[in-house]
Amino acid sequence: MSNFVDYVKIHCKSGHGGGGSAHLRREKYIPKGGPDGGDGGRGGHVIMRGNSHEWTLLPLRYTRHVKAERGQNGAKNQLTGAYGEDVYINVPIGTIAKNEDGEVVGEILEDGQEIILMEGGKGGKGNEFFKTSTNQTPRFAQPGMDGQEGYIVFELKILADVGLVGFPNAGKSTLLASVSAAKPKIANYAFTTLTPNLGIVDYRNYKSFVMADIPGIIEGAAEGKGLGHRFLRHIERNSILLFLIPSDSEDHFQEFKILENELKEYNPELLDKDFIISVSKADLLDDELKKEISAEFPENKKPLFFSGVTGEGLMELKDAIWKQLHG
């Protein structure tokens, strides 16, 4: 089983509000005691909280239900009941919460950020609240209100500076392994990478940026084929996109256009991102072949050549990425 989980559905229920008290004062030396009941306490909230130490929704995978505590009832001496204890659901930065209708409830963008998913029920008013000039001794109180209840879907969209986009076997995992300490699984068959991998890439003068190896695209991915939306939603959060076309592709520019079209079909706004086109496995090419491949592309979309195996062109590629990120 993979230790990367990016989709979880949990039934959440906030706490019921405590009931108000209908207590009457019974002191020996107060002949007309009157109302003395306090308000009920609010029920506990269900709260989503960002945690920078989490990078997957795996801890929530087997959480089926989350229930917050009930608020306490009001008491005599006009004492308000204690609030129900809130329940916190810790999630990685980049997590979006949606309700059963698919509407976004909130998204976590920084460590410690809190978003109330289900509000606790309000506590009922005690009989002191209902005292009027014509009703000096109300003998009733208000019950607490129900908390909110429903299913919440948590979706994680990884945050990275650079997202790698390409077909299976394009060389994404090899690139990530060669420029960072990440150790993605690498093999010569489709969909070696089934879950995203993150790596921190060292750059000049002790600088760095985050690169994400995202599962390979296939034609029809925007329609849900292959890993479909599961990988496409991660691309949305990357600052720039790095397209990888393998040197042994039959038509390099056409392969780029297919990748570009899949992004467009899923979300046209993805094409507004800055991107770099690269040709991987450059160790298989001589200078003449590189010129022929480069000629396939328009002047404003010329690819960079690199090899994750020999290291050829890696520094030039990192320079181009850094320029795009900070230019």
Binding residues for Mg(2+): 173, 193
H/E stretch holding 263: helix 252-266
- Distances, alpha carbon 85 to alpha carbons 4, 42, 70, in Å: 30, 9, 8
CA dist., res. 132 & res. 127, Å (int): 10
Residue 271 per-residue DSSP state: G
Annotated binding site for GTP: 166-173, 191-195, 213-216, 280-283, 307-309
CA dist., res. 62 & res. 83, Å (int): 28
CA dist., res. 208 & res. 71, Å (int): 48
Token output for 211: 């690169």
The angle formed by the CA atoms of residues 301, 303 and 306, to the nearest 5 degrees, is: 165
Cα torsion 24, 25, 28, 32 to 10°: value is -80
**3-state DSSP of 180-214:** ECCCCCCCCCCCCCCCCEEEEEECHHHCEEEEEEC
Report yes or no: 43 and 84 within 8 Å, Cβ to Cβ.
yes
Half-sphere exposure of 3 (CA within 13 A, CB side): 4
Annotated binding site: 166-173, 191-195, 213-216, 280-283, 307-309
The residue whose two tokens read 């920078």 is 52
H/E stretch holding 259: helix 252-266
Report yes or no: 262 and 217 within 8 Å, Cβ to Cβ.
yes
